[in-house]
Amino acid sequence: MEKTKIIVGLGSCGIAAGANKTYNKLLELKKSGKYKFELGKTSCIGMCYNEPLVEIVDSNGSIIYGNVDESRVENILNKHLLNNELKKDSVVYGNYFEGSDQSFLDDQVKIALRNCGYIDPENIEEAEAKGAYSAIKKIANDKLSQDQVIQEILDSGLRGRGGAGFPTGKKWQFAKMYQSDEKYVICNADEGDPGAFMDRSLLEGDPHTVIEGMLICAYSIAGTSGIIYCRAEYPLAIKRLNIAINQAREKAYLGKNIFGIKDFNFDIYVKEGAGAFVCGEETALIASIEGKRGMPTKRPPFPAESGLWNKPTNINNVETFSNIPWIISNGAKKFASYGTEKSKGTKVFALTGKIKHGGLVEVPMGITVHDIIYKLGGGIQENKKFKVVQLGGPSGGCIPASLDNTIIDYDSVNATGAIMGSGGMVVMDETTCMVDIARFFLSFTVKESCGKCTFCRIGTKRMLEILERICDGEGVDGDIEKLEELSIQIKENSLCGLGQTAPNPVLTTIKYFRNEYEAHIYDKKCPAKVCKKLITYKINEENCTGCTVCAKNCPVNAISGERKQIHFIDQDLCIHCGVCYTKCNFNAIDLL
């Protein structure tokens, strides 16, 4: 084995940024014989904003270089491998040289993501070297009973990371109560919001941890079969899951009498879903697995009593299962030492939007929204003013900058009108129109509604129509009150979480940004200058050079003027398309 190892991040985010080309270039250089190194691969380490990422591990330690496209590879190797020098301006993280984004990783507490970016996810030996399957082996070797394992999960304070935050140990207790010759353990990997990026990255980066979490659950509740319900749009995650499952079978970690535990027979298969948002709800997910249309059903009975094929079923999401082995290996007390009184442990967030450092972060419960955005996220792009963060996915709520001291725990987030959800965190700046944002998120839930509930199917559609009218400058007095009334009816009368939370973006934007709604309705103005039909385009006479570009591109010939003379916009003809604004090279179009 060669002394130096070079590892390329080949998660979906890295591949999208060109990491496959980087890997192939490294392979080509290795074959040339000019450089001596071992080439490996890993998955997403969370620094998605710096992809492609290349880590060089040698006798000095580890250095991670960022934004390494194929054109930069050879230059880095010449410096690092041949001249024993660092290309310092490209170092983003190191354990013997501080990179430009050192704090991004150092300020996190990684439990669920502990192995992502540190192992080859297609190599079970590397996973085991990092502790994979040690927790289930501990259960077998120490002869821990089902009740003892469940009690450890209860004592840890782990709550479901998929949305509602129900205590995981209690959920397992309920599933264990019901006796059956068949009992199912389902991993929900189909949540359709930005948090699903987190699920995908966990499955791509550390599939064995998810498998082990399901194994521990199966042992605890006497489960006989496991299903990972994963959306088909995640081909890399599905590929690596199937590789990991086959590797686990070859090592007899799945099958009969696992780890010498008598009658502990359990296997797992992957079920590909069609990516319906409603299938994040347990009963809709179960219906989909059974080959039915993904629609929720009334509860009770709950899945713990009668779930898949009318058998007792336990469902947790990817992040929840990923925490389980760590808790068993390190103890409930250690896990509970992170977080707040009612929200223990850590939470993974998918940071996106107008944030400098977009990617995955794992933080202890109790951290503030401000610290996530500014300490880990690096602040707002172009140093603009932070306005709001939308938390909890498409049906989450908006937390304004004035409440950025809100701590991340279930109760505090819910108190703002937002929800924890599965970890989507969309950051927005001062250029964002909150009415348009409410319209955008509601349009998603309208499309994703399964149509079973009248209030969800029709009510959200009526809300969307009102929002569209407001954004088009056709809002009328009473629209805000109609939105609030419809929201309450939909929340109270919808069967599942999709309908019950769909109005959240609307309610929170009205609560914190009512003035923007009023400006749209009464002043016919969009304060953020986003809603095109509420914008007046005017030539700035001081900046206009008479280049005629705006006039040539106007689709309705609303702009007139001679070459090298100040131009004018006929407001009666203008259709507010914004083409003149985007085409002007001299900042000569003002938005009013």
- Given a contact cutoff of 8 angstroms between Cβ atoms, the answer to whether 396 and 424 are in contact is yes
pLDDT, tens digit, for every residue of 544-577? 999 999 999 999 999 999 999 999 999 999 999 9
Q: Which helix (H) or strand (E) holds 95?
A: none
CA distance 506 to 128: 47
434-523 and 536-591 have identical folds: no
Q: What are phi and psi of 51, to 5 degrees?
A: -65, 150
The model's confidence at residue 168, banded by pLDDT at 50, 70 and 90, is: very high
Of residues 454, 161, 492, 145, the one with CA closest to residue 320: 161
Peptide bond into 52 cis (omega under 30): yes
Domain residues of the chain, as ranges?
5-102, 124-335, 346-429, 434-523, 536-591
CATH number of 346-429: 3.10.20.600
pLDDT at 45 over 60: yes
- Given a contact cutoff of 8 angstroms between Cβ atoms, the answer to whether 200 and 237 are in contact is yes
Average pLDDT, the chain: 95
Q: Where would I find the H helices in 166-206?
A: 168-177, 195-205
The pTM of this model reads 0.93
The contacts of residue 28 (CB under 8 Å, 6+ apart) are none
Q: Where would I find the H helices in 47-163?
A: 73-77, 102-106, 124-129, 134-141, 146-156
Peptide bond into 167 cis (omega under 30): no
CA distance 258 to 252: 7
Q: What is the DSSP letter of 373?
A: I
- Given a contact cutoff of 8 angstroms between Cβ atoms, the answer to whether 443 and 407 are in contact is no
Place of tokens 């963060």: 389
How high is the pLDDT of residue 394? 86
* Residue 504, strand partner residues: none
How high is the pLDDT of residue 2? 61
- Given a contact cutoff of 8 angstroms between Cβ atoms, the answer to whether 576 and 535 are in contact is yes
Amino acid at the residue 245: I
pLDDT, tens digit, for every residue of 340-351? 999 999 999 999
How high is the pLDDT of residue 87? 95
pLDDT, tens digit, for every residue of 185-203? 999 997 655 456 778 899 9
CA distance 431 to 419: 24
Q: What are phi and psi of 10, to 5 degrees?
A: -120, 50
CA distance 336 to 186: 25
What stretches of 31-124 adopt beta strand conformation (E)?
A: 38-42, 54-58, 61-65, 91-94
pLDDT, tens digit, for every residue of 333-389? 999 999 999 999 999 999 999 999 999 999 999 999 999 999 999 999 999 999 999
Core vs surface per residue 312-322: b (16+ CB within 10 A) or e: bbbbbbbbbbb
In percent, the amount of the chain with pLDDT more than 90 equals 91
Please, what CATH class does the domain formed by 124-335 belong to? alpha beta
pLDDT at 451 over 70: yes
How high is the pLDDT of residue 192? 54
CA distance 184 to 222: 9
The average pLDDT across 443-460 equals: 94
Peptide bond into 296 cis (omega under 30): no
Please name the fold of domain 536-591.
Alpha-Beta Plaits (3.30.70)
∠ CA 224-226-230, rounded to 5°: 170
pLDDT at 1 over 70: no
**Whole-Å CA distances, 49 to 17, 67, 427:** 9, 8, 15
* Residue 271, strand partner residues: 229
CA distance 442 to 447: 9
Q: Please report how many Cα atoms fall inside a 13 Å half-sphere around the Cα of residue 172, on the Cβ side.
A: 31
How high is the pLDDT of residue 194? 47
pLDDT, tens digit, for every residue of 129-144? 999 999 999 999 999 9
CATH number of 5-102: 3.40.30.10
One of 3.10.450.200, 1.10.8.420, 2.60.40.1930, 1.20.1440.230 is the CATH number of 434-523, namely 1.20.1440.230
CA distance 148 to 130: 25
